[in-house]
């Protein structure tokens, strides 16, 4: 009989964050596999629709519904649960306000980035209404109360401590893992689905640039559009494959102005195995984000043997190491030069790089994350 029970508290599925859905599925599985003596419970209440008719799949909660569900309904749901003799792990720091209704001395929170706190930490850059700021402050206080805060990168850890949000003694670094589907091995069915989405492979005659992620400002997708435009102006056959939802109107306008609107393939979020096949089809992954907590696409691409060119940020270097190439976002010609150098590699050089990239990506496994967390769970269970 297990004497340690870990309860993983997940984001609302209705909010539609694939990366958080991945964490909420794979980390509990890895903990259970690493130590069968630990009992794992995964909890994910269903979001309610407060400002519209109930029912129907696929509705996207408004910001008001998100706030009501997160700050009123989820805490109320927790107060009805048995919290005795259990360790709790809040998997998303934007839900850290839940710590106020949990045994704080037996609660772990994972912090993925500090973006959610920007309206309090830097209100001039990120202005928000008063009520929203009060909600964020409550979330920050909850994070501060947690017994341990697991940061997904050293960069997030250092920023969190420097901002004075959490004491250094409470923190540890636990990098995210990647889905086991992300490998260099080709699956015929997934490759066929990628071909259906992207069209048949044209070999080396076309450069397929890939960007993976939701189209929000900090992802700096306009940099990828400028890179695409520069390549096409130099008579290079190139297109941009966008995975993660349709471009918003402002980026569509940018694409049209640059003359590349007809050279973009837009795809929704894909199942991991199909996304892995898309990575394997791509010539290079572009990561021009100006803020990230971990940059999961870099680790996924390296695991699939896909080269990466990224913005020159400390956190992106932390994930990509010496296997990715880095350029400042202002240096579009430099980005294009890196892409050209990658395309021009000899087969032997590319094979050696892929072997090193796969070795590097093996660091990012959910099994490794579980190993770092298990001692913390055991320690907190005795409180």
Tell me, what's the pLDDT at 58?
A: 52
Please give the pLDDT value at position 127: 85
Average pLDDT, the chain: 93
Instruction: For the chain, list the domains and their CATH numbers.
Output: 4-177+365-381 (3.40.50.2000), 188-361 (3.40.50.2000)
Is there a contact between 110 and 150 (Cβ–Cβ < 8 Å)? yes
Task: Note the pTM of the prediction, 2 decimals.
Answer: 0.93
At 239 the pLDDT is: 96
- What's the pLDDT at 118? 94
DSSP state of 70: I
List of residues 6+ apart from 146 with CB closer than 8 A: 90, 96, 99, 104, 107, 108, 109, 166, 170
State the pLDDT at residue 2: 60
Looking at the chain, how many residues does it have?
A: 383
Q: How far is CA 195 from CA 276, 282, 298, in A?
A: 12, 11, 22
**pLDDT at 358 (0 to 100):** 95
Q: Give tens-digit pLDDT for 55-73.
A: 444 556 677 888 899 999 9
pLDDT at 139: 98
Instruction: Enumerate the H helices of 170-293 as residue ranges.
Output: 188-198, 221-233, 249-258, 272-281
pLDDT of the residue at 1: 45
| CA atoms of 50 and 143, how far apart (whole Å) | 27
Give the residue ranges of the chain where pLDDT is below 70: 1-2, 50-61, 202-204
């Amino acid at each position: 009989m297990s004497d340690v029970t870990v309860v993983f508290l997940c984001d609302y599925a209705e909010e539609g964050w694939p990366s958080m859905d991945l964490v909420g599925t794979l980390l509990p599985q890895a903990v259970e596999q690493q130590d069968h003596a630990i009992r794992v419970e995964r909890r994910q209440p269903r979001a309610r629709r407060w400002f519209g008719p109930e029912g129907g799949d696929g509705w996207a909660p408004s910001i008001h519904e998100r706030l009501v569900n997160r700050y009123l309904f989820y805490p109320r749901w927790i107060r009805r649960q048995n919290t005795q003799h259990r360790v709790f792990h809040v998997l998303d720091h934007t839900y850290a306000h839940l710590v106020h209704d949990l045994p704080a001395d037996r609660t772990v929170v994972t912090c993925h980035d500090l973006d959610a706190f920007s309206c309090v930490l830097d209100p001039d850059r990120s202005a928000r209404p008063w009520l929203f700021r009060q909600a964020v402050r409550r979330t920050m206080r909850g994070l501060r109360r947690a017994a341990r805060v697991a940061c997904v990168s050293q960069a997030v850890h250092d920023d969190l401590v420097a901002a004075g949000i959490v004491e250094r003694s409470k923190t540890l670094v636990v990098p995210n893992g990647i889905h086991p589907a992300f490998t260099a091995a080709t699956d015929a069915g997934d490759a066929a689905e990628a071909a259906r989405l992207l069209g048949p492979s044209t070999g080396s005659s076309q450069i397929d640039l890939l960007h993976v992620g939701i189209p929000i400002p900090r992802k700096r997708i306009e940099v990828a559009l400028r890179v695409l435009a520069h390549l096409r102006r130099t008579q290079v056959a190139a297109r941009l494959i966008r995975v993660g939802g349709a471009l918003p109107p402002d980026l569509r306008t940018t694409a049209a102005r640059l003359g590349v609107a007809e050279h973009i393939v837009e795809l929704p979020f894909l199942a991991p195995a199909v996304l892995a096949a898309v990575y394997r089809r791509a010539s290079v992954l572009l990561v021009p984000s100006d803020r990230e907590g971990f940059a999961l696409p870099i680790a996924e691409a390296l695991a699939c043997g896909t080269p990466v060119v990224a913005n020159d940020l400390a956190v992106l270097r932390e994930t990509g190491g010496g296997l990715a190439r880095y350029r400042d976002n202002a240096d579009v010609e430099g980005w294009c030069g890196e892409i050209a150098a990658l395309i021009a590699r000899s087969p032997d050089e590319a094979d050696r790089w892929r072997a090193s990239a796969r070795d590097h990506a093996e660091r990012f496994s959910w099994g490794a994350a579980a190993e770092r967390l298990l001692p913390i769970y055991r320690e907190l269970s005795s409180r």
